[in-house]
Amino acid sequence: MENKELLKSGEFLVREVNPRDIFIPEEYDEEQLMIAQTCKDFLEAEVYPLLDELDKGDRELMKEIVKKSADLGLMGISVNEEYGGFGQSFVTQMLTAETLGAAYSFSVAFMAHSGIGTLPILYYGNEDQRQRYVTKLVTGELIGSYCLTEPGAGSDANAGKTNAVPSEDGSHYILNGQKMWATNAGFADTQTVFAKIENDRVLSAFIVDSASEGVVVGPDEHKMGIKGSSTAQIYYNDVKVPSSNLLGKRGEGFRIALNILHMGRIKLGASVLGAAKKAITDSVQYANERKQFRTLIANFGAIKHKLAEMVIKTFAAESAVYRVSKDVDVLIEKYKSEGHDMGRATIDAIAHYAVEAAILKVYGSEMLDYVVDEAVQIHGGMGYSAEMDVERGYRDSRINRIFEGTNEINRILLVDTVMKRALRGDYDLFDKAAKLAEDLSDIEIYKMSASDGYFTVKSGYISNMKKIALLLIDAATRTYERKLVHEQEILNNISDIIMEIYIAESLTLRVKKIENIKGEAGIYRDILDVYVYDAVQKTRKFALDAVYSIDESTGGLSKAISGLSETAGINVKEARRQIADKLIEDNIYKF
């Protein structure tokens, strides 16, 4: 793995990847599995028995449990050893996020503290700030929060009006303003607060002690889900913030906020896996107990379809999560070898993979929404009862499509970042797209032949999907030029295709590597068969929707897309039944 050829963010659209160059969950080492088991044991002992109490909004109880996680070292997984942490790899950080993602509101409080509440100071703070704050955040002596959003500044974070004015002697800043949707606000000791200094156009960042005079924390919001998570407005009334608590440089706050959002997106992609696996396990165990018409509902084909589809989407998302996680690890080591300290190397590596982070966030959050919705349906009337965990999971899931930048923002960001990276020369996208479009009747289209091996066929279909994406990018940029930014429906079509490509390719690489390791892939071929078959059909629809919107008369392009989206038929019913049967037999998610 050390010699793997590193792809730039978004470069998967124009490059092929070897399975040996990716990491798959089947390669976890003993230490990683031990950390994951520690997380599971903690949830069973300390969190699950208190879920109902937490959902009543008991701030002190949540704070107490978050602090208990520090006793096991869970708060220090991402933090270097010199500040009291364990300095684990990014893959291990993501595995921790996944495992704790099954903990409903607790996972939100924990991730807010150990992620956005701690890591901005670790990544952007100076040595004094790291010693004063990070060392205590790791032990739970301090609990952290992150304060960016304002009543008039959500997706447009730089529109915030919170203001900081330097004192005459330069010893401190006077902070005034208001923040909202601040997770952990009700019990946090420290806050990373974004504000504009004087009349600056861009934000700066500050570390604010919650106990400072003039800091007023409002009551917790009454929310649809994640009810145990403390979410409140915070008011700053002439708060004196020491000049030594300016985080990073003046005016660097907007960059810090964006990069922390990238981190939040990529880790959300991991945390939703834990929630999905919990919902699937709850569903199959109920299906194996509930009888209708004198037989277990697990025996019904309609239920098997649901269970299998839940597994397929979750397993596919997991494949993408750990593929990019290893890429981040490799890039961190590269940056460190060039002289970056661990903090900056990590955040710069995460920020580099902005395209993949957006994919994981959007696909993962929508995958989880699908899974929890079907979990409620499998439970029937009981799924609508607050007695069942799936009811809580259903409500808690909905926030993930809003967290860390809405999915609408992330879809646009995804395409925009791909194009900007190509324009700055990271990879040749536009020339390849233009060459494909020169003669639509002469495009090389992969068509399955009887002599082709199994993975040759899957890779061929994915190659066709990549050509569809390039053709659409070429057509959209030529037609709209600078006005393309206003054609959000078309950008969404292209974004959805890019996501399907990355997820399908990650899944293909994983299954091929499983087969290389074990000699056969068994049930995982069924997962891959169904996913790629569906992905190509979705790509066809997204592409034709875009083409007919760009130019209804462009018959050549629609014909090329139709040719590129042909696949051999798959017995999806039988494939899904085999997947479901394994799940039903195991009575737990074990893929």
Annotated catalytic residues are 404
Contact yes or no for 13/498 (Cβ under 8 A): yes
HSE-CB for 276 with a 13 A CA cutoff:
32
Q: Report CA Rg, the chain.
A: 24
Please give the C-alpha separations between residue 408 and each of 259, 362, 470, 498, 527, in angstroms, as whole numbers. Answer: 18, 9, 21, 15, 28
**Which 8-state DSSP code applies to residue 227?**
T
Other beta carbons within 10 Å of 456: 13
Strands 163-166 and 215-220, bridge-based pairing: unpaired
β-bridge partners, 240: 174
Q: What one-character-per-residue DSSP string does 325-340 give?
A: HHHHHHHHHHHHHTT-
Please give the C-alpha separations between residue 487 and each of 89, 491, 501, 577, in angstroms, as whole numbers. Answer: 40, 6, 22, 41
Give the dihedral sign, CA 71/44/391/581: positive
Q: What is the distance between the alpha carbons of residues 289 and 549, in angstroms, rounded to a whole number?
A: 49
Q: Put residue 226 in one of left, alpha, beta given phi > 0 → left and psi -120 to 50 → alpha.
A: left
Closest CA to 490 of 555, 419, 402: 419
SS3 497: helix
Contact yes or no for 104/226 (Cβ under 8 A): yes
Q: What is the distance between the alpha carbons of residues 216 and 208, in angstroms, rounded to a whole number?
A: 12
Other beta carbons within 10 Å of 439: 10
Q: What is the distance between the alpha carbons of residues 509 and 458, in angstroms, rounded to a whole number?
A: 10
Element (H, E) at 72: none
HSE-CB for 145 with a 13 A CA cutoff:
28
Q: What is the distance between the alpha carbons of residues 507 and 525, in angstroms, rounded to a whole number?
A: 10
Please identify which residue in the block is written with the tokens 């309609």.
302
Q: What are the structure tokens assigned to 314, written together?
A: 């979750």
SS3 214: coil
Q: What is the distance between the alpha carbons of residues 366 and 497, in angstroms, rounded to a whole number?
A: 15
Contact yes or no for 343/122 (Cβ under 8 A): yes
Q: What are the structure tokens assigned to 240, written together?
A: 């004196």
Q: What are the structure tokens assigned to 8, written together?
A: 């730039």
Say which residues have a Cβ less than 8 Å from residue 299's Cβ, sequence separation at least 6: none
